[in-house]
């Protein structure tokens, strides 16, 4: 039966080539957009380099201070003092990586300007994360304590600053008008992994800002590493209990909030206690997906209804010979799914081509998208959903068609 439906579907598609082209164009374009969005989200959320211990880590990226009486509020990243003094007192984490948000600076090599991002870290940062060192090693706790002018750089920074040389360990690189000795080179990190991305990594003790400032707001984030995945709830609860005991830093504020969250939740955190970053992200993505799929689906519905009107005599004859409404509905939905899957194949090919162009362009540094099994599975589900969404109503209209009216159109 399905084989016959497939043959009928192909014959119908060949009958009105213009309608078929419009349908396939809308389906393939829609799926291409969804696949590109899915590939991007998949890379950002599931790509675990260089924090390969993400399954037993919690991320602290924001602090929110509110003055209910004064009307004052403050939200953003945290100070080094807050993380080191308060979060550092927790018992459950076995390590805590502290790093600043990346900042941009310029340096010059042979009168050529190079734009770099730099980040300050503590020594534990290199124990919590799993950067792939191409040469050298991370700076040590002793070097951090002594405030040595050392740095770990990315492989792209090595190529851009030093050129094609076998090793740069021991050489000096200038950043923000300071000369730093290179102690290690690491594999590139995608710029979308902003919590860990940088071109050069420096000890926090060489920062020009006083890291001992006792204010709560600052430019730092932290990764809390538990001994095992089972310890995560305990570590999260301990952090919440700690926050309840934090004294207000000044009289303008009477409430203070901060949370140790999963990577995905921390990635979209707004820093605002009254606005959930995860809920906002899901709302935006859902609205975008609905907008992208709804317009082509409505267009395909109209085209399908037009096709049905052209096939009214065929439907009338089949009904006259005993075909049930359920059989006709099933046939039409199968035909529509075949059309959708054909458009899906074109969409996958288009997505692959665009991804190759995107990866080669370097539009987002070090970010390489791919159509892995997970992304293709989501694409298949999107095809099925799109096919059902655009096929159910026309199929229902067809099933309600009266035999007499259908035969009159013959």
Residue 315, in any domain of the structure: yes
Residue 56, in any domain of the structure: no
pLDDT digits (tens, 9 = 90+) for 387-402: 777 767 676 666 666 5
pLDDT at 183: 97
Tokens 């290199």 locate to 126
**pLDDT of 303 above 80:** no
pLDDT at 88: 95
Lowest mean pLDDT among 171-180, 279-288, 335-344: 279-288
R_g of the chain, CA atoms, integer Å: 29
The reply to whether 114 and 229 lie within a common domain is yes
Q: Give the 3-state secondary structure of 335-396.
A: HHHHHHHHHHHHHHHHHHHHHHHHHHHCCCCCCCCCCCHHHHHHHHHHHHHHHHHHHHHHHH
The reply to whether 94 and 206 lie within a common domain is yes
Dihedral pair phi/psi, residue 267, rounded to 5°:
-65, -40
Distance CA 53, CA 60 (A): 15
pTM recorded for the entire structure? 0.80
Enclosing H/E stretch for 172: strand 172-175
pLDDT at 235: 97
The reply to whether 298 and 382 lie within a common domain is yes
pLDDT digits (tens, 9 = 90+) for 101-150: 999 998 888 888 899 999 999 999 999 999 999 999 999 999 999 999 99
The residue-averaged pLDDT of 344-367 equals 86
Lowest mean pLDDT among 1-5, 33-37, 216-220, 290-294: 1-5
Residues 6+ apart with CB under 8 A from 327: none
pLDDT at 87: 96
The reply to whether 12 and 75 lie within a common domain is no
Distance CA 135, CA 168 (A): 8
The residue-averaged pLDDT of 87-97 equals 96
The reply to whether 107 and 211 lie within a common domain is yes
- Which burial class, exposed, middle or buried, applies to 230 when counting CB atoms under 10 A from its CB (0-12, 13-18, 19+)? exposed
CB neighbourhood size of 137 (10 A) = 12
The residue-averaged pLDDT of 60-87 equals 90
Which residue, 260, 295, 318, sits at the end of a domain? 260
Lowest mean pLDDT among 246-250, 269-273, 303-307: 269-273
Which residue, 226, 260, 294, sits at the end of a domain? 260
What's the domain range around 76? Answer: 62-260
Looking at every residue in the chain, the average pLDDT score rounds to 83
The reply to whether 349 and 402 lie within a common domain is yes
- Which burial class, exposed, middle or buried, applies to 2 when counting CB atoms under 10 A from its CB (0-12, 13-18, 19+)? exposed
Residue 50, preceding peptide bond in cis (omega within 30° of 0): yes
**pLDDT of 275 above 60:** no
What angle separates helix 312-320 from helix 277-310, to the nearest 10 degrees? 80
């Amino acid at each position: 039966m399905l084989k016959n439906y497939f043959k009928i579907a192909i014959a119908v598609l060949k009958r009105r080539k213009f309608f078929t082209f419009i349908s396939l164009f809308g389906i393939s374009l829609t799926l291409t957009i969804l696949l590109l969005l899915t590939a991007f989200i998949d890379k950002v959320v599931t790509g675990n380099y260089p924090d390969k211990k993400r399954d037993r880590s919690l991320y602290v990226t924001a602090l929110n201070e509110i003055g209910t009486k004064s009307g004052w509020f403050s939200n953003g990243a945290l100070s080094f003092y807050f993380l080191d003094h308060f979060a550092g007192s927790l018992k459950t984490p076995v390590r805590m990586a502290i790093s600043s948000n990346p900042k941009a600076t310029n340096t010059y090599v042979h009168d050529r300007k190079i734009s770099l991002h730099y980040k300050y870290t503590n020594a534990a940062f290199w124990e919590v994360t799993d950067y792939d060192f191409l040469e050298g090693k991370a700076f040590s706790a002793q070097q951090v304590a002594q405030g040595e002018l050392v740095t770990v750089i990315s492989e792209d920074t090595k190529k851009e600053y030093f050129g094609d040389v076998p090793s740069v360990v021991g050489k000096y690189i200038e950043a923000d008008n300071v000369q730093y000795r290179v102690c290690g080179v690491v594999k590139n990190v995608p710029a979308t992994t902003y919590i860990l991305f940088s071109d050069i990594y420096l000890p926090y003790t060489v920062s020009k800002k006083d890291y001992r400032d006792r204010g709560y707001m600052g430019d730092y984030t932290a990764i809390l590493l538990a001994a095992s995945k089972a310890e995560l709830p305990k570590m999260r609860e301990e952090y919440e209990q700690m926050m309840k005991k934090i004294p207000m830093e000044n009289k303008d504020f009477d409430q203070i909030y901060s949370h140790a969250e999963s990577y995905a939740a921390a990635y979209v955190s707004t820093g605002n206690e009254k606005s959930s970053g995860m809920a906002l992200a899901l709302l935006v993505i859902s609205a975008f997906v609905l907008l992208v799929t709804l317009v082509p689906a409505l267009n395909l519905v109209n085209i399908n209804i037009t096709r049905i009107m052209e096939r009214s005599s065929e439907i009338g004859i089949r009904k006259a010979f005993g075909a049930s409404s359920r059989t006709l509905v099933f046939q039409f939905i199968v035909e529509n799914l075949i059309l959708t899957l054909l458009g899906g194949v074109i969409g996958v090919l288009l997505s692959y081509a665009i991804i190759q162009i995107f990866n080669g362009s370097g539009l987002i540094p070090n970010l390489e998208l791919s159509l892995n099994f997970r992304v293709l599975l989501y694409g298949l589900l999107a095809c099925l959903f799109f096919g059902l969404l655009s096929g159910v109503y026309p199929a229902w209209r067809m099933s309600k068609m009266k035999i007499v009216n259908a035969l009159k159109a013959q």
